[in-house]
């Protein structure tokens, strides 16, 4: 898979991505998504598994992860993709940016581009986003990508120890989704 935007390239994961992903997690800023400070010890396995799941290419069953790179330099800035929530029976957007690449609009640009790719390539008509209520930066990302807030409720995500307050968003093909022309 290859998506090109004004400032980003979104591509399939490669084995070498494990190094920048582990470096991004070393500061603790990716703990909420399960990438702890020690993820360097298991990141190679995660990348290998993610590559296998991407080959299966089933957003109604698997986690599909892609690498986000800066177009002008090729530097790995983060990841975007989707994950199937077994408990909700929904496909949800997933993304992260390394701390040094945040607040530049890269996450929203990557999410918009991935949503366009997703709705153009899969027979899925709806995608959700689950965002912890205190994660204001992430709500801004999904709202900029035209996700609509549907409910706030307590929920225990896969990496949570206990239920937390979450904001649930959705975007649907044809209703909320409009191909992005501003990236």
Distance CA 124, CA 120 (A): 9
pLDDT digits 0-9 by tens, 39-80? 656 667 878 888 899 899 999 999 899 999 999 999 999 999
Q: What is the mean pLDDT of each run of 10 residues along the chain (183 residues)?
A: 97 89 69 58 77 92 94 95 94 92 95 97 96 92 97 88 94 66 48
- C-alpha 26/C-alpha 17 separation (Å) is 14
Domain boundaries of the chain, sorted by first residue = 2-172
Q: Are 53 and 73 in contact (CB under 8 A)?
A: no
Residue 48 is predicted with a pLDDT of 86
Structure tokens at 69: 């790179």
On whether the 2-172 domain is CATH 3.40.630.30, my answer is yes
Tens digit of pLDDT for each residue in 11-21?
999 989 888 87
Q: What are phi and psi of 132, to 5 degrees?
A: -55, 140
- The per-residue pLDDT for 50 is 87
* Separation between Cα atoms, residue 9 and residue 178, nearest integer Å: 20
Its pTM stands at 0.88
**pLDDT at site 35:** 60
Burial of 64: CB neighbours in 10 Å, binned 0-12, 13-18, 19+: buried
- pLDDT at residue 183, as a whole number: 47
Question: Contact, 130 vs 97, CB < 8 A?
Answer: no
Cα 158 to Cα 84: distance, rounded to the nearest angstrom: 12
């Amino acid at each position: 898979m290859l998506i090109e935007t004004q400032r980003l390239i979104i591509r399939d994961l490669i084995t070498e991505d494990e190094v920048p992903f582990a470096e991004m997690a070393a500061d603790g800023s990716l703990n909420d998504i399960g990438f702890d400070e020690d993820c360097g010890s298991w990141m190679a396995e995660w990348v290998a598994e993610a590559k296998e799941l991407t080959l299966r290419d089933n957003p109604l069953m698997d986690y599909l992860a892609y690498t986000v790179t800066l177009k002008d330099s090729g530097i790995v800035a983060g990841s975007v993709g989707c994950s199937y929530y077994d408990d909700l029976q929904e496909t949800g957007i997933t993304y992260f940016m390394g701390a040094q690449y945040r607040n530049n609009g890269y996450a929203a640009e990557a999410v918009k581009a991935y949503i366009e790719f997703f709705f153009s390539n899969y027979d899925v008509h709806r995608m959700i986003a689950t965002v912890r209520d205190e994660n204001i930066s992430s709500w801004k990302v999904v709202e900029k990508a035209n996700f609509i807030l549907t409910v706030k409720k307590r929920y225990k995500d896969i990496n949570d120890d206990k239920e937390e307050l979450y904001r649930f968003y959705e975007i649907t093909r044809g209703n909320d989704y409009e191909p992005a022309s501003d990236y």
